[in-house]
Amino acid sequence: MAGPRPGEVNKIVLAYSGGLDTSVILKWLQQTYDCEVVTFTADLGQGEEVEPAREKAQAAGVKEIFIDDLREEFVRDFVFPMFRANALYEGIYLLGTSIARPLIAKRQIEIAREVGADSVSHGATGKGNDQVRFELGYYALEPDIKVIAPWREWDLDSRTKLLDFAGKHQIPIARDKMDEPPYSTDANLLHISYEGKVLEDPWVEADEGMYTRSVSPENSPDTPTYIEIDFEQGDAVAIDGEKMSPATLLTKLNELGGANGIGRIDIVENRYVGMKSRGVYETPGGTILIAAHRGIESLTLDRGAAHLKDELMPRYAELVYNGFWFAPEREMIQVAVDESQKHVSGTVRLKLFKGSVTVVGRKSPVSLYSEQHVTFEADTVYDQRDAEGFIKLNALRLRLLNARKG
């Protein structure tokens, strides 16, 4: 046993969904460590009722049960800061799963302190990124916490064994959960992911019936939808002039994007633990949001600041993907990103049509765009003759290089 041994643990806080895996984990923890287990269920906008988890935990003898609505905190303090950076992992993935893990870890540690627990536990497997993300968060916030990762400890290494364990210990499992699903999913307000099973062959196209948050682009409306998003200092604050809270705004963008077939990607990504993994994602609202954010930045960000941000972005995205949300380098980059957003305010108009998002208009009271300077008509603010010296100075090194060749 690599984790803490029985007798070394006094109280455990378990990240608990009430599904098959964490229901079995709850019983296994109670049996293995013979101590009190506290359950914590986070509502991150996954689209499922979380209250049934309370009944299941009570039936399992849990005395302290935490069910927290974290949707606003999730979008305000995690999703929005990440979107200020325009973060994309490997150029395409909007980090929907990755960005949820530090919030879950943070709240788990807060609960552990509140109830006097010396240990935390999660349901991530020993093959994936989530075990790393959870545990880096735990240790960053509480260096001496004990971590129990059952999938790295037990011999219940198949769904059949999990179901046998559940049956033996009379753990109730919903009838629709008894059959093995064709893929594994993870969902929150930003996205839903699909991995494993039939998707493990990267040549096989995902079945249309799998998708839950968007219609197919082919079946989306034949007329475009136009929307306007208002930004204040880099964060979206309103849709079509209606002010909304962060979670409400992202929910609305999900509806608009899903109805127009927006936000589907099918990728093979490089996991932090070393292997490649095929994942299919639906991120309708996030796909609209990043396009809109880049649209308003194009009008309000200085060129040097914008290009530096683009250089920092891959590193930022990698830190989030690998689980280093609480690392000083991520926080350092965040300070630079947030400094750049002081004047990123204004309105972006977008066209949503058959899976695409197109910025078709942008305006800002602090715009750096000068129509006087860029016009093709005669002007009085720019002397085109100045360009000659500019070009010659920039060409000087190239001319000297050419002279050396001669």
Amino acid identity, position 344: V
Catalytic-role residue among 71, 84, 101, 133: 101
**What letter does residue 252 receive in the DSSP assignment?**
H
| Catalytic residue flag (residue 310) | no
| Catalytic residue flag (residue 101) | yes
CA 61, CA 38: separation in Å to the nearest integer?
A: 10
Catalytic-role residue among 43, 130, 230, 235: 130
| Domain ranges (residues) in the chain | 11-81+95-180, 186-363, 372-405
10 closest CA partner among 109, 145, 150: 145
Please report the pLDDT score of residue 297 as a whole number: 98
Q: Given this chain, do its domains 11-81+95-180 and 186-363 carry the same CATH topology?
A: no
Please report the pLDDT score of residue 2 as a whole number: 73
pLDDT tens, 242-278?
A: 999 999 999 999 999 999 999 999 999 999 999 999 9
The pTM is what?
A: 0.95
What DSSP string describes 297-337? HHHHS-HHHHHHHHHHHHHHHHHHHHT-TTSHHHHHHHHHH
Ranges of the chain whose pLDDT falls below 70? 1, 174-180
The owner of tokens 């629709």 is 176
Please report the pLDDT score of residue 158 as a whole number: 82
The fold of the 186-363 domain, in CATH, is Argininosuccinate synthetase, chain A, domain 2 (3.90.1260)
CATH number of 11-81+95-180: 3.40.50.620
Catalytic-role residue among 21, 43, 230, 235: 21
| Catalytic residue flag (residue 271) | no
Catalytic-role residue among 68, 77, 152, 184: 184
| Catalytic residue flag (residue 184) | yes
Please report the pLDDT score of residue 3 as a whole number: 84
Please report the pLDDT score of residue 146 as a whole number: 98
